[in-house]
Amino acid sequence: MNYTLTNLEDNIRELYLSLAITKPSEIDMWQFAHYFDIWIEFEEGKSELVETQKGLFTICLDKRNSYQNQWQDFAHEFGHVIRHVGKQHKLRSYFKDLQEFQANNFMYHFCVPTFMLIDYNVSNCLDIEHGAKFVSHTFNVTEEFAKKRLALFRDKLLQAKSDEEHRRYMEARYPKMVYSEETKDVLKELELLIKKRKGVTT
């Protein structure tokens, strides 16, 4: 089964590759912060994103949390930097909710990039409880986070499998049209006629 990356998954892959990060052991939030000119500060309090000047951001992380939780919080706030620019407090509540949903979705895919995840056998394992320990250890995220990420991955795999089965069924039921030689000649003449009318010479 061929797995097709979504736009988000592909953009995250490009982002990682632009920093020459190709495996989980190379993932480092400080590298992303440095590359995007983002300050990281540790304080006692809820993690948040602060725009200190126009276009300059500080991500404040709760210093009481584990590194795993700090990394996850960084990814969430980084998602806002990447996808949402502007004054969030002026948005209506449903737009804020949408941005939070998008930042969370970004966080799951950013902390555990799909292009890395598909290199492991978890793609064949639908047992989330078993796979979560591996993902948690490999990608340095909490087990609860790993379970949610694997659920997203499993759903995408099942959808891809369903789409593939449907495609095969439709191709078997409605095979591609095979044109006769006469029809091919007519189509060639029609193509030439269209090119002449458009002033295209062959």
Q: For 13-42, how does the pLDDT look when each residue is reduced to its tens digit (9 = 90+)? A: 999 999 999 999 999 999 999 999 999 999
pLDDT higher at 6 or 196: 6
Cα of 18 vs its chain's centroid, Å: 15
> What pLDDT, on a 0 to 100 scale, did the predictor assign at position 163?
79
Q: Going from the N-terminus, what domains does the chain have, and what CATH number goes with each?
A: 7-126 (1.10.10)
Lowest mean pLDDT among 49-53, 69-73, 119-123, 185-189: 119-123
Quickly list H helices, the chain.
7-18, 29-35, 67-83, 93-111, 114-117, 128-139, 143-173, 181-197
> What pLDDT, on a 0 to 100 scale, did the predictor assign at position 188?
87
Write down the mean pLDDT value for the chain: 86
> What pLDDT, on a 0 to 100 scale, did the predictor assign at position 31?
95
Q: Write down the pTM of the prediction.
A: 0.76
pLDDT higher at 54 or 80: 80
The dihedral of CA 139, 145, 150, 155: what is its sign? Answer: negative
Question: Is the predicted pLDDT of residue 86 greater than 60, yes or no?
Answer: no
